[in-house]
Structure formats: C-alpha cells, structure tokens
Chain A
Amino acid sequence: MTSIKLKLKESEVQQLKEVAKSFNNEPGELINVLHKAQEIFGYLPAEVQEVVAQELNVSVAKVYGVVTFYSFFTMLPRGRYPISICTGTACYVRGAEKVLDEFKRLLKVPVGETTADGKFSITCLRCVGACGLAPVVMVGDKTYGRVTTDGVKEILKEYEDQE
C-alpha cells in the first residue's frame, strides 16, 4: 500500500458528497454510493473510500471490506481502454483462455494491471450474458464477439491509433 496520499479534486469530492446526500447519507446505501463513486473517480482509491465512510457514517474498514468483496469495485485505476475478457463457461469452452493469453502476451501485462502508458488494462469478468458470441471481449462499453487469437491484434489496432 502506497503511503503517498492521493489528492482528490474538490469538485469531484463535492459531487460525491452530493451523491451521498441524495441517498440520505444512509449506511445501507453503501453499495449504491460506491457505484456512483466509481463512476465519478473511475476507481475507488483509499481516499475516496474515506470520504464515503465519513459521509455515510460507517467505518472505513467496513467500506474497505465491502469494496474488496465485490469484484466490480476496483482500487486500481484502469486503462483508458479497459479490456475485459469474459471467462464464463461458454467463453471458456470456446477458447477464452487463449484469447486472454494473447492479450497478455501482446500487452505484456498480467490480469488486473494496466500498461505502462496507461492505455490498456486487462481484467477478466464472469459472463456478460452474450454467450452466443463466445468468446467475448469488451473494450470499455464496446463488445466484441467470436474473438479469435488473430482478432486480438485487430482489436488492439483499433485503439492504438487513437491518441
């Protein structure tokens, strides 16, 4: 754990406080508030969790306990183009693992991490419910179906030219 304290943008903190208020600062709304917080900040660093804890009057440990329980919440900033590879059963039997390996090989980062340039990050997720298109890969909100190892290169190419 890094000891360098992250500085949050005041406007974003304010936004988060508004969100908490819109949920009546109810401790029971913790998960809803965390969802919104992740939308605002992109991820949930310790500092954000501290604000959430303060606003909902729950212990930071509890917030952290909840954040680490659910795989949807992340404490690491994701890449500008977060790549999610579905590793649900349908995708698994149709070769998701090979697709995942190819992403890892080409981007040279393990699952859960972001490339040095902050462009791509790789995560695995469980079934997006598009099993008909297995194996499925998502980049941001865009879904790619029937992805092959060859297709991996093409997907990356789409984003490499940007920025």
Chain B
Amino acid sequence: MTKIKSLADLKKLKGDLQSKIALREKSDTPEGRVIVKVAMSTCGIASGAKDVMEYMIDEFEKRSIDAIVTQTGCIGYCYAEPTVEITLPGNEPVVYGYVDTRKADEIIEKYIKNQELVDGILPVNYQTIEKDKEE
C-alpha cells in the first residue's frame, strides 16, 4: 500500500473504497450477495461468536451460498451475545441474538435461503449519525 499523501488522495481513496465495498456486496449474481457480520468483541467471542462465524463460513461453502462473512465490533446487545447481523440483498439488515450453531443453521435455512424471519431478532433501537456522502 502506498501512503496517502494528501487530503485529496484520502477523499479519492474513500470514494474508491466505498464503491469497492458496494461492488463486493453486489457480486456477479443479479441478486447480489448476503452480507453477514458477526460481532466479535470479547463478550461475543466468550459466548461463542468465533464458533458461529467459522460454522457459517463453512456452511455457506457447503450449501453454495454466495455470502461474505466479516467480523465487526460490539453492537451493544451484550445480553444477547453472540449476535449476527444479516443483510439480504435489497433488504434492511436484521440482527439476530443468542446465535449458536443450531440457530445459525436455522438462520441459513430459513432466513437466508427463504427470507423467512426467525425468532430472536434484535430490533434496532438507536439512531445513527448521518454519514457525509461524497459527491
């Protein structure tokens, strides 16, 4: 990676990265990809987030689902760890709590494959600050 040399460089890079991420999420298929974010903070990991993440990666491959799984920090629902956020193409993100491998299996089968919601959704109960959108 070459160093960012100026503010202009930084802004350009940001634009590139945003479209790169958008592109990555679109994939080649018309439906786009499933985005899975696993909360991997200390409490998440302590409650088994790592196993869940590994399980989901494996299962997506086995079940030929076009998904990208990334880790992220704590969303704050500590009582419901491990938590997993799933964004189906064209849909609002949905967060599931108390996810173990069994629950993960249910989520894959019902929600990801069939868009059938599964019990245990954690409703979003906060506001985010608006991000400054570039051009």
B77 contacts across to A, CB distance below 8 A: 132
| Residue A51 CB within 8 A of the other chain | no
By the criterion CB–CB under 8 Å, are B45 and A132 in contact?
Answer: no
Which B residues between 70 and 118 are near A, CB-CB below 8 angstroms?
77-81
- CB neighbours (8 Å) of A130 from chain B are 42-43, 46, 78
CB atoms of B46 and A143 under 8 A apart: yes
Q: Is A131 an interface residue (CB 8 A)?
A: yes
Report A-chain residues with C-beta under 8 Å of the C-beta of B45.
Answer: 143
| B42 contacts across to A, CB distance below 8 A | 128-130, 143
B residues engaging A (CB < 8 A)? 42-43, 45-47, 77-81
Q: Are A131 and B46 interface neighbours, CB within 8 A?
A: no
Residue among A129, A130, A136, A144 with most chain B CB within 10 A: A130
Query: A145 on the interface (CB 8 Å rule)?
Result: yes
Decide yes or no whether A60 CB sits under 8 A from chain B: no
Contact pick for B47, options A128, A131, A145, CB 8 Å: A145
Interface string of A127-139 (1 = CB under 8 A from B): 0111111001000
Interface residues of A in 103-139 (CB under 8 A from B): 128-133, 136
Partner of B81, one of A128, A129, A132, A144: A132
Can you name 13 extra interface pairs (CB under 8 A) apart from A129-B42, A132-B81, A145-B43? A128-B42, A130-B46, A130-B78, A132-B43, A133-B43, A133-B47, A133-B81, A136-B46, A143-B42, A143-B45, A143-B46, A144-B46, A145-B81
**C-alpha spacing A131/B77, complex, angstroms:** 11
- CA–CA, A5 to B114, complex, Å? 69
- Nearest chain B CB to A133 CB, angstrom units: 6
Q: Considering only CB atoms, which chain B residue lies closest to A144 in the complex?
A: B46
CB distance from A132 to the nearest CB of B (A): 2
Closest to A138 in B: B46
CA distance A136 to B81 in the complex (A): 13
Q: How far is the CA of A144 from the CA of B77 in the complex (A)?
A: 17
The answer for the CA separation of A87 and B81 in the assembled complex, in Å, is 20
Q: What are 20 A-B residue pairs whose CB atoms fall within 8 Å in the complex?
A: A128-B42, A129-B43, A130-B43, A131-B43, A131-B78, A132-B43, A132-B77, A132-B78, A132-B80, A132-B81, A133-B43, A133-B46, A133-B47, A133-B78, A136-B46, A143-B43, A143-B46, A145-B43, A145-B46, A145-B47
